[in-house]
């Protein structure tokens, strides 16, 4: 999610790492074998982010289907 969405609510314990940053080549500073669950507002951008991270060697990446809206 982008900063303005994050500011309106987010899942406790989540880390902010917007798709826009990932698309610019800024990858999260986490182990490539760590369990990663991605979520955006509805699940579309996080799916894109998951695909990018997988192509960059992250092994355990999951997209939260339906995103933050479904989680609520």
Residue 63 CB burial class (10 angstroms; 0-12, 13-18, ≥19): buried
pTM > 0.75 = yes
Residue 57 CA, chain-centre distance (Å), reads 15
- pLDDT tens track, the chain, 72 positions: 889 999 999 999 999 999 999 999 999 899 999 999 999 999 999 999 999 999 999 999 999 999 999 999
| Bridge partners (DSSP) listed for residue 6 | none
Residue 16 CA, chain-centre distance (Å), reads 8
């Amino acid at each position: 999610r982008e900063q303005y969405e994050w500011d309106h609510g987010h899942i406790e314990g989540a880390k902010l790492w917007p798709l826009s940053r990932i698309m610019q080549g800024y990858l999260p500073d986490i182990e490539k074998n760590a369990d990663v669950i991605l979520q955006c507002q509805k699940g579309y951008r996080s799916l894109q982010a998951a695909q990018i991270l997988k192509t960059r060697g992250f092994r355990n990446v999951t997209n939260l289907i339906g995103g933050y809206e479904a989680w609520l």
